[in-house]
Amino acid sequence: MYDRYEGLIFDMDGTILDTEPTHRLAWHEVLKPYGMRFDEEALIGLNGSPTWRVAEVLINSHQRDMDPHQLAAEKTALTKTMLLDTVKPLPLIEVVKAYHGRRPMSVGTGSEHAMADMLLKHLRLRDYFMAIVGADDVKRHKPEPDTFLRCAELMGVLPAKCIVFEDADFGLQAAKSAGMDAVDVRLQ
């Protein structure tokens, strides 16, 4: 189905791995001691953003004077412990398996590189991907195209010959800005 593309790029959270419920639970637990809460729709709107940016939005919405990087670090630490027990692949992983060895593939995620690497290794999926580009690997994050452009570069494929699989508006915008076709997995 995707044979005309020379490189396949996959977002991770909510696209190939079912991590979203755990991320929401981790945010709930981390925010509770600070007397903060989040609006689920607003959080969904930030899908694809790096954790520190989500923390920044949450802090600003509560008009708090906190370091977003510190809050993000707390959330990431908690998420790491929770995800190892709960993470499962989503059905799109069958596309990954079908193209393994046939096309170069990479993961372009708003999660930190180490988190993506750890989860993919935990599920024995890491070897399917030539590269991982995480939030800490680029300066400009989704909806900017840098994550996906870096994936294409690491795979040695021209951006116009790549397809991106995404579940978030920011990621779809990033793919378009990178000159790549995209599949909105929410519509599949």
Active site residue 11: yes
Successive 10-residue mean pLDDT values, the chain, 188 residues:
96 94 92 92 81 93 95 93 92 97 97 94 97 96 96 98 96 97 93
**What are 31-45's pLDDT values in tens digits?**
999 999 988 888 878
3-state SS record for the chain: CCCCCCEEEECCECCCECCHHHHHHHHHHHHHHHCCCCCHHHHHHCCCCCHHHHHHHHHHHCCCCCCHHHHHHHHHHHHHHHHHHHCCECCCHHHHHHHCCCCCEEEECCCCHHHHHHHHHHCCCHHHCCEEECHHHCCCCCCCCHHHHHHHHHHCCCHHHEEEEECCHHHHHHHHHCCCEEEEHHHC
Surface-to-core class of residue 89, CB atoms within 10 Å of its CB (0-12 exposed, 13-18 middle, 19+ buried): middle
Q: Are 162 and 153 in contact (CB under 8 A)?
A: no
User: What domains can you pick out in the chain, each with its CATH number?
Assistant: 7-18+88-187 (3.40.50.1000), 20-86 (1.10.150.240)
**What are 62-100's pLDDT values in tens digits?**
999 999 999 999 999 999 889 988 999 999 999 999 999
Query: Maximum distance among all alpha carbons in the chain?
Result: 51
Surface-to-core class of residue 11, CB atoms within 10 Å of its CB (0-12 exposed, 13-18 middle, 19+ buried): buried
* CA nearest to 48, candidates 131, 115, 109: 109
> How far apart are the C-alpha atoms of 72 and 18, rounded to whole Å?
20
Q: Which of 11, 137, 146, 167 is catalytic?
A: 11
Q: What is the CA radius of gyration of the chain?
A: 16
Q: Return the structure tokens found at 72.
A: 């993000």
Residue type, 1: M
167: how many CB neighbours lie within 10 A of its CB?
24
